[in-house]
Amino acid sequence: MSDSLDQIFVRGKQLLLAPLAHAPNWLVQIASSLINIFALLGVFLTLFALMSVLERKILGRIQNRYGPNRVGPFGLFQPIADGIKMLIKEDIVPARADKIVHFLAPVLIAATAILALGIIPYGRNMTPFTIDGGILFFFAVGSTTELAVFMAGWGSNNKFSMLGAMRAIAQMISYELPLIITVLPVVMIVGSLNPDTIVAAQDGYVFGFVPRWFVFTPWGATAFVLFFVSGLVESNRTPFDIPEGESEIVAGHMTEYSGFKYATFFMAEYLGMFAITGLAATLFLGGWHAPVRALEFIPTYIWFFAKLGALLFVYIWLRGTLPRTRVDQIMNFAWKFMLPMAFTCVVAAAIWHYAGRGLRGWLWSLVVIAVAYTALSIFLDTRRKFAPRTYRFAE
Amino acid sequence: MSASFVIISIFTLAAALAAATLRKLMHAALSFAVALVGLAAFFFLLGAEFVGLVQIFIYIGAVAVLIVFTILLTRRDVEKDRGFNWSGVFIAIAVFGGLVLAILKTQFLSVAAPEMPALTVKHIGEVLMTGYVWPLLCVGLLLTAALIGALILVMEEKR
C-alpha cells in the first residue's frame, strides 16, 4: 500500500508513456523528458505562488499585522490576482537601454534557475534528470546567473542598476567559494557527484534511531550552516540583500524592469531559493529519507517537501528578523570566516573518515572544528577597534 | 555526422562570428560567452560530461564575467561603435592558417579507436589524484601565486 503510494508519480509517468511502447527510442526519450519538465514547472510554479502568499502572511504575523486577506479564503488567491496584475501592466523599456540585452536577462536568469532544479532527487526514483556529475551541473548552471545579473544591470543603462549588478556579482562570486567548498566534504565521504548516490549514502540509522544524515556529524552540521548562509547570499535574501537594497539603490539590477519581466526576476529568485534549499536537504538532511523508521510508510516525496518547507520557513523567518548587513561586512565575513571554516570542514570530514566513521571520529572532528572556530573568533575579534567614525570623502 | 552536430556547429559558429563582427564591444563579449556554451555542448555530444560541465563552470561563470568586467572597468567608450580593425583580420588569418597547416601535417592513423568505458567523474578524480598529481599540484601552486599577486596589487599602501 505505502509502496504504491510512494511510487504513484513514477507509475503515472509510465502510464503516460505506455502508448509509445512501440515508438522509436528517441521519441520515448523526448516524451519522457517533456513529462519531467512539465511536472517540474507545474510543481515549482505552484510552490512559488504558495510561497509568495505564505511569505507575506508569515511576515505579517512577525510584524504583528494581518498580511493579505482579501482575495479568496485567508487571502490564498492573492498570487492569482498578483499574476493578472503583472501580466496586464505596461512593459516599459528605457529609451537608452540596450533592448536585446535588456530583454534577454530575465529569460536567462529564469532558465538557469529552472535548470538547476532538474537534478534534485524529489523522492525514490524521482530525479527528473540523472547526471553523473549532478552536483557539478548544479553549480555550473548556477554560475551563469552572474552573467544574467550583469546583463540586467548593464542593459538597463541606469547607474542604480549597474551598482546593484556590481554588488550582486561581487557577493555571489565571494560566496560561491564557501558554497562549493562546503559541498566538498559530502562528495569526499560519499565518493560521488551524483545526487542519487549521495541520498542513498544517508540511508539507515545509527544505534537504531539516529538517522545517518550528514547533518548529525560535526563536520556535516558545520558545513550545513555554512552552506545555508552562503545559499542565503546566493539567492540575495534579506540579511544579505544589498544588491536590491531598496533604501539605497531602488531595486538594484531590477530597477528598470516592469510588468512581466519584473515578475520573471521575482520568480527566478524564488526558484533559485527552492533549488538551493533542495540541494541543502539532499546533501545534509538525508534527501527524501524519513527521520524515524516508524514513519517510513509516509511517501518519500512528502518527506522531501517537508524538509524543503522547513528550510524555506527559516528563510522567511530570517527575513522578518534580521536587518540588512553592509557591503564590507558581507565581504569580510566571506573571506575571513566562511572560507577558513569551510576548509576546516573538509579536514574534519577527512579525520572522521580515517578514524573509522564511529564515535571516535565524531569526537575528533568536533575537536578540530571547535579549535578552528575558537581560533577564528579570537583572531577576528574587532571589539577593541571601535572608534569615532571617520569619513574619507565627506567632511 | 549527426543532426545534433550540425545544429551545435551552426549555433557555435554563428555566435563566434557575431563575437568577431558585432560593433558594440559588450555585445561581442556576450556572444563570445554564447560561443563558449556551444563548445560545452560539443563536449556533451562527445560524451565528456565532466569537461563540458567544467567548461560552463569556468568559462561562463568566471572567464566571461571577467571579460565583461574588464571591458566595463577599463574603457570609457563602451557604447562607441568601433571601425573595422584590419590588424585583427591579419592575426585571425595567421592563426587559422597555422592551425590548418598543423592539422594537414598530422598523420592520421586509420585504426578504429578502442571501445572506451563510460568515463565517470570518479575515474577522472582517481587519475588526477594518482598519475597526474604533480601537474595538479603545480597548477594549484601557480593559481595560489596568481591570487596572492592580485591581492598585493590591490592592497592599500600604508604611508
pLDDT (tens digit, 9 = 90+) per residue, A60-78? 888 888 888 888 787 788 8
Residues 6+ apart with CB under 8 A from B131: none
The pLDDT-based confidence of A1 (bands split at 50, 70, 90) is very low
Does residue A84 fall inside a structural domain?
Answer: no
Residues of the domain holding A325? 95-383
Does residue A58 fall inside a structural domain?
Answer: no
Classify strands A205-206 and A210-211 as parallel, antiparallel or unpaired: antiparallel
Cβ <8 Å between A101 and B33: no
Does residue A29 fall inside a structural domain?
Answer: no
pLDDT for position B141? 95
Whether chain A has a CB inside 8 Å of the CB on B150: the answer is: no
Identify the closest residue of chain A to B73 by CA–CA distance.
A166
A61-65, A121-125, A322-326, B21-25: segment of lowest average pLDDT: B21-25
Say how many C-beta atoms besides its own lie within 10 A of residue B89's C-beta.
11
Does residue A263 fall inside a structural domain?
Answer: yes
Whether chain A has a CB inside 8 Å of the CB on B50: the answer is: yes
- The x, y and z cell numbers of residue A212, run together, are 545517518
How many helices and strands (H and E) does chain A possess?
A: 15, 2
pLDDT for position B1? 59
Residues 6+ apart with CB under 8 A from A257: A106, A152, A156, A265
CATH no. for B1-105: 1.20.120.1200
Number of domains in chain A: 1
Per-residue pLDDT at A216 exceeds 80: yes
Does residue A59 fall inside a structural domain?
Answer: no
Whether chain B has a CB inside 8 Å of the CB on A143: the answer is: yes
C-alpha to C-alpha distance for B67 and B33, rounded to whole angstroms: 10
Question: If you ran DSSP here, which 8-state letter would residue A68 be given?
Answer: S
Question: If you ran DSSP here, which 8-state letter would residue A132 be given?
Answer: T
Does residue A8 fall inside a structural domain?
Answer: no
Does residue A42 fall inside a structural domain?
Answer: no
pLDDT for position B89? 83
Mean pLDDT to the nearest integer, A216-234: 88
Partner-chain residue, chosen from B26, B33, B62, that has the shortest CB–CB distance to A154: B26
A71-75, A147-151, A172-176, A282-286: segment of lowest average pLDDT: A71-75
Q: Model-level pTM greater than 0.90? A: no
Does residue A372 fall inside a structural domain?
Answer: yes
pLDDT, one tens digit per residue, over B91-148 is 889 999 999 999 888 877 666 666 666 667 777 888 888 888 999 999 999 999 998 9
Mean pLDDT to the nearest integer, B35-51: 85
Residue A122 and residue A304 in contact, taking contact as beta carbons nearer than 8 Å? yes
C-alpha to C-alpha distance for A287 and A270, rounded to whole angstroms: 20
Per-residue pLDDT at B84 exceeds 70: no
Calculate the average pLDDT of chain A. Answer: 83
- The x, y and z cell numbers of residue B37, run together, are 556554451
pLDDT, one tens digit per residue, over A340-386 is 999 998 998 888 888 877 788 888 888 888 888 888 888 887 666 66
